[in-house]
Amino acid sequence: MEISEKLLCLFSAEVRETDDGEYVVDVPNREIDAGSLEPGETYRVALVARDGTEASAGDADETASQADDGPQPPVEPGEMRYGEIEDLGKQGDGIARVERGYVIIVPDTEVGERVKIEVTEVKSNFAVGEVVEEAG
């Protein structure tokens, strides 16, 4: 399956029915915390069926934990990236986004700066980096 570069986030969730007969897919808090999505905004949603293989009861816990982990971060510690600071976080740090809307927090930067970033710390929903050089 081809995945668009415009993909903001990817997670597994069940479709559930509400008491009033509507169907809902709950978005994990980590997607809001990562800055990929904003409450109240409208997004396009694609639903992909699970593969047809049956998991045994013993495999269910492992499968669930893998689904909860979501996609792996698109960066690694020590990796160099060029990026533009798109926004400022609540504490004033710069925010750059890479694949799937993944956030890299870059202290001591301003919106609009283009910088070369060395990734210093990687979490599941964001990374921290430092400026290596101004990119222009």
Give pLDDT tens digits for 43-95. 888 777 766 444 444 444 444 444 455 578 899 999 999 999 999 988 899 99
Tell me the whole-structure pTM to 2 decimals: 0.51
Based on C-alpha coordinates, what's the Rg of the chain? 18
Query: Residue length, the chain?
Result: 136
Per-residue pLDDT band for 136 (boundaries 50, 70, 90) equals low
Per-residue pLDDT band for 3 (boundaries 50, 70, 90) equals low
Q: What is the pLDDT at residue 56? A: 41
Residue 30 has pLDDT above 80, yes or no: no
Q: What is the pLDDT at residue 62? A: 42
Residue 36 token pair: 């990929």
